Structure 1
């Protein structure tokens, strides 16, 4: 049949000089998913396809082989003109490529082989949950998946691989499309095939898979069944777990490092807290001890600042204990507790007969006594101005002169000082010498109040409780409500107040379990008992009431005037009495509990 007759039979004919690409476009526009292209002698010279599925099918065919060896045996050999009856007989769709002389120089052909395969695969897709998506739409959905997707037919032949699979595994589509999973497993492309396990067991299978590219993945293969229960397809989801394994290994390394650091920190804490008088759990307290350990190695003067009862004296003892002077004397001097008339003789001593009432043998001063060791001047802000001048000279010259004596005595002593006063404000008010302040404040060390280092409260309670149980042969514990109340309290008296409260409730509580109601009223939030001359209630204890009033007056006087002498004068008592009473109420425990 001539070309014109082909055209009348609706056989697609190209215009002269059309290229293979234009022919392919026309062919695809007419509903053909893919087809081989042969020359006029019937040899395969190209493949037209727009889908991975057709590419997987047609890529098995070899170039330059005659078309009758590639498709059905009854395909007509191409020799110039086309026999249309044979084309229709064998259901071969062909598109001739004609030159300008109307001679057929090539043919694009699609045989029953391709048609049957396309129909078969298309039917499988249609059977998937009765989806109404077209193949192109379904293909787009698969390609949009972030995880890799690998699809085989019911015999394990690869029919679809998305781009994510290539990205994750490092394998190219061309290397696996159209190939059976048994071949890929045998050739070492994959360590093990989950698809083959599904085909064997008939159920969803998840395994770890490793590729020849070195990538490790987690694959989960799911079977797709037809109406008769036969597996027609296996869909595999692939997720890269290489990073997860790396993160797991890194986490394990971090855990080991953490355990090592925790062990080192605990060892460091044991070394830091080498005195049973210091309990430290809060990070601020530990930092203070670390700093104290560093400055303890040199003989510099240290000025400790902080509220009353915060633990300045304990830090001073710790510094002495870890210093090179630890085997020598540690002398603590409460500067506010010594009467003014006796300060100089207590500090520097006196010669025999120096004044009326003096010891006949004379007396060595505290600075001489501490020579070779450490002297701790607590409440140094209470020193009168004339003693400040004499103390400054001692610190500068490191020598003392006894009262009544003329000879200077060399001393070797380290000076630690502490105060709860604002010395800089006192300097402005001409109550403290500026030169002495700078002499003492070589290394300042601030001790925060207990309310600023809350993590120390429970360990301190346990420490004091253990000591008291051992001392009094008790077996007492704090209930959780009592502990919570103690934790929330503001602790104006700091560690000293905490210690005394613990001792009080341990002694006074009737049961072994100390409950919230066993705590003092000011701790649990009560305003306390108010007594006036116009009221009287049964059960009022006169001694406790008087002690409460006296303690409040002493505290208010000290808060107002800021020093012992002025506060004592305002209450009409001498400084030594004031110091004694103030210490009693700061400790907040009756004398009967100390016996």
Structure 2
């Protein structure tokens, strides 16, 4: 074999499967490996004599590595995009003569399209794992009671009927009512009845998050977004609600600045994390709640009208406990059983305690009533909960009621009326006349005599 029949450099060049191009200082291609044709989807011989500047204008690839090397006069590595959308990792090297002038530019590349797709997939999986991890932490750290909604009154039955009707459609719902009426319970009820019940139920208390932290908590943030930020970034509450329900409690507490940002999110269902450039999209159901008069807030320019109309597609007003007294006894029974099971205790409320609970003005509504029942189950030392186990406010109410009923009587009759009421109450709470005497602070013979006086059997 003659030396002229065997060109070692040419064979080595063509043995490369990857793209390898050699250009002169004017950007004209003088060498091209066969792999170039496969990568750029052209015949490699057609590249010879072509200008890389013209090929860039034609969209065969971008950016042009040669021009960058001629400008910077040093080795360059970058990602190049081909006409077919492939991603190439390109390295360009300047070849200089004895005077240090660039005479050739050699560039070689590797197709990294699949690697970039894998990276995107891993990034999405990392985001999803972060979302799930954060959601689990929230559920682990948050105490959740499995309360049921008790509704014997016609007003609450109408509320639940409306909630069931809207549960299976992704319409925005605004829950209205005083503090403690059960807005968060009704929101969870709607979520559990909806097709999204397998997704997360994420509750955002708009009044509890400091104003300067709201955006970072709500939308999340990227690593190093601000001083003190986690180096790994943080998934926002909005992302946690993807495929589930986002519950905005105390929405009336939002500042006007954050109202604008929440409105934009509701309209577009997409956002950027704080410090991020990647657009995030979520698919979630929106429920909001407030104890404020938002219509008044709109009139006084404290709440945006456009946000109000976005939120209140279906408004549901939950009546306070004083407007549905027939619900009080079922609520007492339901939660007494629940707390008995939770704390493994058996409790019974005597008539005086039940009467006090039924007649008390529950300004804190259901939340206050539930807390009172839990308190009695935990703190009463005996299985029978009596009036002496009630807090002073409820006991004072009982005594005050007796004196109110005695009002208008002359002193002698009023004293006898109060004395009889106290004897009746003591007899209900005690088994023997000795126990009654101890409770009333008088002698046992006095108790017997007074019972006979008032014909109390």
Q: 1:536-593 deviations in whole A, cap 9, x for unaligned? A: xxxxxxxxxxxxxxxxxxxxxxxxxxxxxxxxxxxxxxxxxxxxxxxxxxxxxxxxxx
* Residues 1:483 and 2:358 are matched in the alignment: no
* Residues 1:317 and 2:192 are matched in the alignment: no
Give 2:279's aligned residue: 408
- Contact 2:147/2:185 (CA < 8 Å) preserved in 1? no
**Structure 1 residue corresponding to 2:172, chosen from 279, 293, 301:** 301
- Contact 1:521/1:527 (CA < 8 Å) preserved in 2? no
Instruction: Please identify, of 419-428 and 311-320, the stretch whose mean Cα deviation from structure 2 is larger.
Output: 419-428
Give 2:335's aligned residue: 464
Higher normalized helix content (fraction of residues): 2
Question: 2-side partners of 1:504 and 1:521: how far apart?
Answer: 13
**Structure 2 residue corresponding to 1:418, chosen from 277, 286, 289:** 289
**Structure 2 residue corresponding to 1:449, chosen from 313, 316, 320:** 320
Question: 1-side partners of 2:290 and 2:309: how far apart?
Answer: 14
- Contact 2:242/2:282 (CA < 8 Å) preserved in 1? yes
Question: 1-side partners of 2:272 and 2:398: how far apart?
Answer: 53
Question: 2-side partners of 1:291 and 1:517: how far apart?
Answer: 42
Question: 1-side partners of 2:222 and 2:343: how far apart?
Answer: 46
Give 1:394's aligned residue: 265
Give 1:360's aligned residue: 231
Q: 1:431-459 deviations in whole A, cap 9, x for unaligned? A: 11111111111110001111111121111
**RMSD after superposition:** 1.7
Q: Equivalent residue of 1:457, what SS?
A: helix
* Residues 1:429 and 2:429 are matched in the alignment: no
1:429 CA displacement: 2.3
Question: 2-side partners of 1:425 and 1:349: how far apart?
Answer: 32
Give 1:287's aligned residue: 158
Task: Give the TM-score taking structure 1 as reference length.
Answer: 0.41
1:289 CA displacement: 1.0
1:394 CA displacement: 0.4
Give 1:339's aligned residue: 210
Give 1:220's aligned residue: none
Q: 1:369-410 deviations in whole A, cap 9, x for unaligned? A: 101110100001111111000000001111111111223211
Please identify the structure whose Cα radius of gyration is greater: 1
1:511 CA displacement: 2.5
Structure 2 residue ranges without an equivalent (≥5)? 1-145, 400-457
Question: 1-side partners of 2:200 and 2:377: how far apart?
Answer: 34
Structure 1 residue ranges without an equivalent (≥5)? 1-274, 529-595
Give 2:394's aligned residue: 523
1:515 CA displacement: 2.0
1:276 CA displacement: 5.3
Give 2:133's aligned residue: none
Question: 1-side partners of 2:197 and 2:183: how far apart?
Answer: 18
Q: 1:271-322 deviations in whole A, cap 9, x for unaligned? A: xxxx852222222212211110001111010000001110000000000001
Question: 2-side partners of 1:363 and 1:463: how far apart?
Answer: 40
Q: Of the two structures, which has the highest relative contact order with CA contacts closer than 8 Å and spacing of 6 or more?
A: 2
Q: Equivalent residue of 1:368, what SS?
A: helix
